[in-house]
Structure 1
């Protein structure tokens, strides 16, 4: 049967969608630091390497607008969203934000004419008002960096009315964060690739259970530390000493790198996954069952951690399939790198590598 006729037959029979949705998906995971304080030139080799990969779409460690809107008000991760919404309501510009239809129109206009600054300001305001933090930040980056010098006095006045003074936008709303991996690496990358969106992939459905487990583990760790200070010769003290080796080992590994590109490579190697788990889980599985070690609390932490990372993987694959992407890039805190790679590799027709695997 001719290929086109075969595809038409599949569509008529209702089976083409599932088959086509399972085409191979290539995922490159870029484990990042959330603090990037070096000069811009230090990150240029990283950007160039990522740009050469040419992903179809880029994901960031952001919640989707829908997930952010559904966060329980008393959940800790909801507080920054509530603060930003209150901040936006106090702005001088009181006209209603764009509708979804008008926002889609603004995106189309900006693809053709990127210097329509008022439309970009309106689009950034739309994203901020609809809980889409990632894309609000991206549009504000464009206004603050590559397009800043081309804003007219009228554009700058409108920008200030919509978002307030630059200092408040950074320190109060925290919608411009110049030292994050997004502002230093991934927003420049998106701009140079000509992509107008960053896609969300975070999952915070397990945040409350995680906080409960991590709080219990930390309380037991503090008790272990206090016991060590009283008597360093006990079995509990020996456990505390073993826990205490995790932090210096973690930073000694990173400090052995001579450039930011080397640091990023180091953060995307399997050994760093082990060092990171040792630091974040009080020594991790090697101390499971040791005298005084918060075994049950750490196991509960790891269970919630696994659920969150699986949720991230599900979001990545679902959205990539929806967008018809075959090559995607995922920017995520470096502690997630190895578990994401492992979980993604277990999913059908998904191949996952890391920044360290790039040539």
Structure 2
């Protein structure tokens, strides 16, 4: 049986779905959701990673755009602009043009699968991923270099790393290294501990514009409703807001438990009640 982990990122939402096909080879899909910012969390993330490892996934997918999708976006699209800054930074430090990139990437992946400590090979692979607009795998290789390999570098490798990627402060400022992200806390460590060497892309911005327009209309309507509710708590809008507020009330004890273990809190009956509301 093949197992695939697919990560969906709605804040404080955890869903597990198993799909069994009638085909001879069954595929199990686990959908995991998490917070984008875990910087201040005291959560035991290794416990979460261990639970996910129990599914023995063959592939891990993340909320990343494929390079082909980036190519279709306009230059002023927020997603393209965001990653372009990182690509430009890496290209400035590593201006050499790529040759036979697809073949080169496969060769480097194979080498690292056989021996994970070819540090220069991994550095070169990260650069190739960036220049090929594969953000997910660029991010993953940078995570491995910074968190798993850097302490093992010799003097020459330290100098090479600094030359190819700059300072840690620069990497953090650009968002290349994001210590508090869900990827750094859960998904990249998961992939690394599974002995896998890549993350698969699963995101889409095709409908971003109409979605944004629909969101804007909803947000405006909600603000109007909230204003009417504030002016008259007995109005239909007031009763609606009262009902909404009712479901989002935690007791002090519930809040204490949730704050101590946010991800476990998302699996409680109370949180299920909030989601269903």
TM-score bin, normalised by smaller chain: 0.7 to 0.9
Query: What is the correspondence of 1:38-49 to structure 2 with a 5 Å cutoff?
Result: 42-49=44-51
**2:30 aligned counterpart, secondary structure:** strand
Correspondence 1:225 to 2:213: no
Larger Rg: 1
Structure 1 245/56 Cα, relative in aligned 2: closer, same or farther at 3 Å?
same
Decide whether the 8 Å contact of 2:38 with 2:180 is kept in 1: yes
Structure 1 276/78 Cα, relative in aligned 2: closer, same or farther at 3 Å?
farther
**Larger relative helix fraction:** 1
Correspondence 1:82 to 2:84: yes
Structure 1 272/66 Cα, relative in aligned 2: closer, same or farther at 3 Å?
farther
- Counterpart among 7, 28, 31 of residue 29 in structure 1: 31
Correspondence 1:189 to 2:222: no
Decide whether the 8 Å contact of 1:36 with 1:184 is kept in 2: yes
The count of residues paired between Structure 1 and Structure 2 equals 256
Correspondence 1:102 to 2:104: yes
CA distance in 2, matches of 1:114, 1:254: 43
User: Gapped runs of 5+ residues in structure 2?
Assistant: 1-21
Decide whether the 8 Å contact of 1:32 with 1:267 is kept in 2: no
After TM superposition, give the deviation of residue 71 of structure 1 in Å.
2.1
Structure 1 66/255 Cα, relative in aligned 2: closer, same or farther at 3 Å?
farther
1:236-291 deviation digits (Å, cap 9, x = unpaired):
22233334445546x9967533754xx3344357874663475xxxxxxxxxxxxx
Partner of 2:162: 160
TM-score, length of structure 1 as denominator length: 0.63
Partner of 2:121: 119
Decide whether the 8 Å contact of 1:106 with 1:119 is kept in 2: yes
Correspondence 1:177 to 2:178: yes
User: Gapped runs of 5+ residues in structure 1?
Assistant: 1-19, 279-359
Decide whether the 8 Å contact of 2:143 with 2:177 is kept in 1: yes
Query: What is the correspondence of 1:1-359 to structure 2 with a 5 Å cutoff?
Result: 23-37=25-39, 42-89=44-91, 91-97=92-98, 99-172=101-174, 174-245=175-246, 247-248=248-249, 256-257=257-258, 259-260=260-261, 263-267=262-266, 272=271, 275-276=274-275
CA distance in 2, matches of 1:259, 1:203: 34
Structure 1 269/83 Cα, relative in aligned 2: closer, same or farther at 3 Å?
farther
CA distance in 2, matches of 1:189, 1:82: 27
TM-score, length of structure 2 as denominator length: 0.79
1:130-153 deviation digits (Å, cap 9, x = unpaired):
121111111111111111111123
CA distance in 1, matches of 2:102, 2:52: 31
Structure 1 259/28 Cα, relative in aligned 2: closer, same or farther at 3 Å?
farther
Decide whether the 8 Å contact of 2:258 with 2:264 is kept in 1: no
**2:258 aligned counterpart, secondary structure:** coil
After TM superposition, give the deviation of residue 86 of structure 1 in Å.
2.9
Decide whether the 8 Å contact of 1:68 with 1:81 is kept in 2: no
**1:69 aligned counterpart, secondary structure:** helix
CA distance in 1, matches of 2:276, 2:80: 26
Decide whether the 8 Å contact of 1:133 with 1:175 is kept in 2: no
CA distance in 1, matches of 2:200, 2:233: 50
Structure 1 220/41 Cα, relative in aligned 2: closer, same or farther at 3 Å?
closer
